[in-house]
A and B are shown apart, each in its own frame.
Chain A
Amino acid sequence: MAYQLYRNTTLGNSLQESLDELIQTQQITPQLALQVLLQFDKAINMALANRVRNRVNFRGSLNTYRFCDNVWTFVLNDVEFREVTDLVKVDKVKIVACDGKSESTQNKNDKW
């Protein structure tokens, strides 16, 4: 199962909102919506792994860090993100990172 990590992105949220609207109007069932989201997880994970090939550097100051359930969450301040061509500066950024190594054996939303 692919990470459900990417559901909280512009792409993922807009999909979830759209699905919610369809559920509201009862055009689809919640079960179907869930299936769609699972499919989305697969697709986005694949796309990121295969279709994206760029590198970014960043530098800032670390405000907080947390490591729980194999998920790192950082909050950085005054960060500069640099790619070859451009630079983006932000006052504050939150980074959520799942384990990139043994992805196939992990599911972020596993319930014990």
Chain B
Amino acid sequence: MLPGPLDFSDTISSMASAPTSKYNSHSLENESIKRTSRDGVNWDLSEAVPRLPGETRVADKEVIYICPFNGPIKGRVYITNYRLYLRSLETLSSHWHFEADACVFQDSALILDVPLGVISRIEKMGGATSRGENSYGLDITCKDMRNLRFALKQEGHSRRDMFEILTRHAFPLAHSLPIFAFLNEEKFNVDGWLVYNPVEEYRRQGLPNHHWRITFINKCYELCDTYPSLLVVPYRASDEDLRRVATFRSRNRIPVLSWIHPENKTVIVRCSQPLVGMSGKRNKDDEKYLDVIRETNRQISKLTIYDARPNVNAVANKATGGGYESDDAYHNAELFFLDIHNIHVMRESLKKVKDIVYPNVEESHWLSSLESTHWLEHIKLVLTGAIQVADKVSSGKSSVLVHCSDGWDRTAQLTSLAMLMLDSFYRSIEGFEILVQKEWISFGHKFASRIGHGDKNHADADRSPIFLQFIDCVWQMSKQFPTAFEFNEQFLITILDHLYSCRFGTFLYNCESARERQKVTERTVSLWSLINSNKDKFKNPFYTKEINRVLYPVASMRHLELWVNYYIRWNPRIKQQQPNPVEQRYLELLALRDEYIKRLEELQLANSAKLSDPSTSPSSPSQMMPHVQTHF
């Protein structure tokens, strides 16, 4: 809401209504309480502040929260080693008296519940000479599309204290403090760390087989320190070959298998750029290696190489020793550039999105402002690239090799999205977790650098919303195929929230070797534990399991939308004014669906007992693929 009604109150001075947005923000905040309490958070009843096991109180302080939607509100802020929690001292109910009958939000204190991990920057605003009301305090920039401002008293050292405490706990790395995930003592009834087991996942894909083998050459990360320990490579390439190829690939990220098509056996292979350099160096081993990959599916076609970068960038990379596969050197390969820009362009683009949505939405020229951020255009290019990869593989014309510069940003986006389009397994909740775990976490997307967990250097040029962009693409796909994904929007938002929160170990560190050194799986909880122990909340009631259906989203600008429920979720105006119990209805439907499926299974069981037909269990792709047992 809603200029209409707002204008109305402007016109009629006697009108008692305050801007209705208060109602909304309020409902939003309450939402977050409900959410955290459902997450099994302990409540400190005396303070009414939620606390996780292992979370300790550090300080509390009376402040004025300068809410961009409701104006200044007096409140008490509680800081723990995990979160900043604000509860307003005034209630908002007075604004809402005329809503009494429809109002379901009885206790109307405004609440902010912000994990310290989302904070990217803390600034002091105003100085000793500041005069204006509420002009002295702290200005906090968050990674999740919002800013927080608190006004503090000028007397005493209240601002200095709060600044120091916040800085200390929001940026523990700079203060030799542990990230909260290492202090978190939450217990869940499932262990998310067990979700991804590479051997099992490759076996599900029917690997190893006659053409592909699993190698432990990188067992101690000696071949490539940013790759996982377990790799799938062509059967015909020896470990010695791999070592020689590694010398010609940026950071030794050699081409390895990401996914194999169950029927036509074409593959998606990922790597980094070849070290061609200005002089146009060649490497026979690399050339031969790519040819071996090409030959693994017995079709006589060229290997398709997708270089995610714009052509000019690929050329420019030669200056720093990189480059791309030339026609001369790789006769049996065809190379296409996908024109996806680098991490810096994406970061600036998202910054522009934030500028037009927070705190106030650019209204008068919303669509052209949105266009000028180019965010959707980048989404379109990423999706278009992934569609091309998926189509090439699915049509069986050829195997595909994907790389960008280092092969951990755009490459991860492309391979994981293409896999999501090709393999319905990844569209289930656990399948998606495996996809993220495999293509992103294990293959060394530099989460620590891109997100800056616990790091105070907010202007670090290494930060970039690459993973967010991937999740956005997934959301766009789920919009276009409402029945194809087992998970709902809440699942994606929860993943993004914990991408920053530092409550779980899942996204910490840059690569598997670092994670292993830090014993992350032993010392922290996995995000998937939280999700998998409460799956219903993240399920899409309309999900229909379909094996072997390839999804081709429409990647035209006409069909892409800004993900309003994520990027503009802090703005109460985008919410309808009134409880819209969609979630509840969806849960009902989910229950109906489960009941139906159960009934169906009973029937099938009864039926198969009669016919003595054993094949009633839901089939997974692995069961549909012929199993080739090769020992390794």
Asked whether A and B interact, the reply is: no
